[in-house]
Amino acid sequence: MLNLILFGPPGSGKGTQSLRVACRYNLVHFSSGELFRNEVKKGTKIGYELANYMINGLLVPDFMVLRKIYRAALQYQDAAGIVFDGFPRTVYQAEMLDKLLIKKDIPISIVFFMMVDEKELISRMMGRAEDSGRLDDNEEIILRRMEVYEKQTLPMKEYYQKQGKLSCISGMAPVKVVAERISRVIDHYLMKNEIIKLVAQ
């Protein structure tokens, strides 16, 4: 099973690249942001609570995230693999996800860290704000999201680096170029695993 994580700052292209990877390798695209936005649209009690965090540029508390993620992710354990987009967002969430997947013997394969300059990130998100209608896309909230990212999400880089699973990808190039860079890493991983299997036979 090929399980991937794409993470990086807001506006780094995680969603775009996650969708392309999922399509190319026939994987499930699992977007926590989409999951939460759908919950908000339903107008449920949980959706109302989620909206309060999102419109203020804050991360949803771990206990709320993990409850929703566990229920949804377990539906896909028989798939060819999962691309996690927007989750995990804290080291604690990463640790909990590892425990869940290792228990099911379907650990994370590769973690892609999307790197984009801050000026470019802000420019992208301000452009997106004009036509997305997203609750968390305006200048004040964008800057707050950047601050929250640096404090709570960026430490995941070291966490996955220690596991030897981190692959840093520059997101400054055109979408197709970034996608090819990601695919080269995945193809190399798959080829190496096939060789290991053949040697073990």
Question: Is pLDDT above 80 for 70?
Answer: no
> What torsion do the CA atoms of 55, 60, 65, 189 make, to the nearest 10 degrees?
90
| Residue 14: band (very low, low, confident or very high) from pLDDT cuts 50, 70, 90 | very high
Closest to 58 (Cα-Cα) out of 135, 124, 113, 111: 135
The answer to whether the beta carbons of residues 169 and 181 sit under 8 Å apart is: yes
Terminal Cα distance for the chain, rounded: 19
Q: Which two tokens stand for residue 149?
A: 């990212």
pLDDT of residue 32: 82
Question: Who has greater pLDDT, 48 or 28?
Answer: 28
pLDDT of residue 46: 81
Overall average pLDDT of the 2-12 stretch: 94
Residues ≥6 apart with Cβ < 8 Å to 147: none
| pTM, two decimal places | 0.85
C-alpha span between 72 and 30 (Å, rounded):
9
Indicate the domain borders of the chain.
2-200
Which helix (H) or strand (E) covers residue 168, if one does?
Answer: strand 166-170
> The domain 2-200: what is its CATH number?
3.40.50.300
Burial class of residue 165 (count of CB atoms within 10 Å of its CB; 0-12, 13-18, 19+):
middle
Q: What's the mean pLDDT when you consider all of the chain?
A: 87
DSSP label at residue 40 = H
Question: Is pLDDT above 60 for 69?
Answer: yes
For 6, 10, 59, 157, the CA distances from 170, given in Å and listed in that order, are: 12, 14, 24, 14
Q: Which two tokens stand for residue 114?
A: 């999307």
Q: What are the tens digits of pLDDT across the range 74-106?
A: 788 788 999 999 899 999 999 999 998 888 888
DSSP label at residue 60 = P
Q: What are the tens digits of pLDDT across the range 102-132?
A: 888 889 999 999 999 988 888 888 776 565 5
How many C-beta atoms lie closer than 10 Å to residue 141's C-beta? 20
Q: What are the tens digits of pLDDT across the range 132-178?
A: 555 555 677 888 889 999 999 999 999 999 999 999 999 999 999 99
